[in-house]
Structure 1
């Protein structure tokens, strides 16, 4: 379309130029006039053809250049698309890595928190126990002075009527029974002195079970013996000393320097 319009324009310009030059040339014969006109038309056609070729070449160059530009734009578009895809993939990978590390940190933090909490609770419990032990009064007793000096009945409980020490008030001077105010490891010691020519059979009893025993003989003089035990006693358990065999000749010496005693001490709870 553009080429056709251009061709018409060139023809019109050529004819106009011819008429204008013809008006200035002197009038010749009809043959000369037609010859000159034909020659001018041929020259004009040649020029037009040359111009058309040049226009065609220019148009081809422009189309080629536009194609190159279009291809370049497409190449850049593809390149940017690839770059954007690569950047997006890398960002996703980075995001996943950050999320994984965050989850790992949360898990480690929670495990550490639980471990520390458990350790703190255990230490707190130990402190509470130690505090309880420190707050508990000491437990110890030292009783003396037998109420019955003969012990002529089996399983008779020895009652020591007086105490030098009764920390924790566990020993009862009216019954001869020690009731543990605190559970723990205790040491008990019994010291007795048989009268001259007399003897006795004694036992240390914990909740009805004899855990230590002694036989004391005073042949030609006064005989004194010690016996006892270290035993774990529960809170509220009772312990006492008894005569575990009937002896009609039993008798104890209770002078000022020969004490018959029953003592106990909380060693560890």
Structure 2
């Protein structure tokens, strides 16, 4: 009887132990559901961070594009401003003293001593100014001759006379100057022409000269 009682007691104790183990397994101290919720929230935060990073990268690319476009526009404006800077001044003889002419025909004067040539529109090899941009330009020229000689020069636009100076056998020295404002298209040419059988004089003082500049573009 005692043995049967002991067996029952051992069986009860074993059942209690198994129940306790089962409780520990199925009801652990860590809240798994809460941890899963935390992981879900963390995943949502990571996703939001990734979206924010993607937006920042997109904005960065857009900013790079904007900066590049601004640089391109700035370079274009700088080039346009450089093209608007046109001015030159030159005298007839590069050095020394002497006269030019007379000739049996018309002669384009080549002003060899260049004082300034901003924009490189004047060519001292030909004596011709070529307009680099459309605009209003101002030109002025001076000519000098000695007594008893005739001096006559004209300013030409594309080969057509626009204004002139003339001195016929002065008693002492003959001087003349003239100026004009012209509207030029790109490629229009301005030159100074010596009349046939006349001559001009120049020396280091620069008595015979040719100058011009862009007033404003059009």
Instruction: Calculate the TM-score normalised by the size of structure 1.
Output: 0.47
* Alpha-carbon separation, structure 2, partners of 1:256 and 1:208: 29
Q: Residue in 1 aligned with 2:92?
A: 145
| 1:260 is aligned to 2:208 | yes
Q: Tell me the secondary structure at the aligned position of residue 160 of structure 1.
A: coil
Report if aligned partners of 1:194, 1:217 keep a CA contact under 8 Å in 2.
no
Deviations 1:40-92 (A, max 9, x none): xxxxxxxxxxxxxxxxxxxxxxxxxxxxxxxxxxxxxxxxxxxxxxxxxxxxx
Report if aligned partners of 1:144, 1:261 keep a CA contact under 8 Å in 2.
yes
- Aligned pair partner of 2:189 in 238, 255, 268: 238
Report if aligned partners of 1:146, 1:158 keep a CA contact under 8 Å in 2.
no
Q: Residue in 2 aligned with 1:93?
A: none
| 1:134 is aligned to 2:134 | no
Q: Tell me the secondary structure at the aligned position of residue 200 of structure 2.
A: coil
Deviating 4+ runs (over 4 angstroms): 129-133
Cα distance change on mapping 1:135 and 1:149 into 2, 3 Å: closer
* Alpha-carbon separation, structure 1, partners of 2:102 and 2:179: 19
Cα distance change on mapping 1:135 and 1:156 into 2, 3 Å: closer
* Alpha-carbon separation, structure 1, partners of 2:184 and 2:79: 18
- Aligned pair partner of 1:222 in 149, 173, 186: 173
* Alpha-carbon separation, structure 1, partners of 2:118 and 2:174: 30
Report if aligned partners of 2:108, 2:191 keep a CA contact under 8 Å in 1.
yes
Deviations 1:186-228 (A, max 9, x none): 0010101112211122111111211112212352211111012
* Alpha-carbon separation, structure 1, partners of 2:151 and 2:168: 7
**What's the RMSD between the two structures over aligned residues?**
2.5
| 1:193 is aligned to 2:141 | no
* Alpha-carbon separation, structure 1, partners of 2:102 and 2:77: 44
Moved more, 227-236 or 209-218: 209-218
* Structure 2 gaps, min length 5: 1-75
* Alpha-carbon separation, structure 1, partners of 2:131 and 2:154: 19
1:1-269 correspondence runs (5 A): 133-146=80-93, 149-243=100-194, 245-247=195-197, 250-269=198-217
Q: Tell me the secondary structure at the aligned position of residue 134 of structure 1.
A: helix
Instruction: Calculate the TM-score normalised by the size of structure 2.
Output: 0.57
Q: Tell me the secondary structure at the aligned position of residue 123 of structure 2.
A: coil
* Structure 1 gaps, min length 5: 1-128
Which is greater in Rg?
1
Higher relative contact order (CA 8 A, sep 6+): 2
Cα distance change on mapping 1:131 and 1:254 into 2, 3 Å: closer
* Alpha-carbon separation, structure 2, partners of 1:256 and 1:131: 37
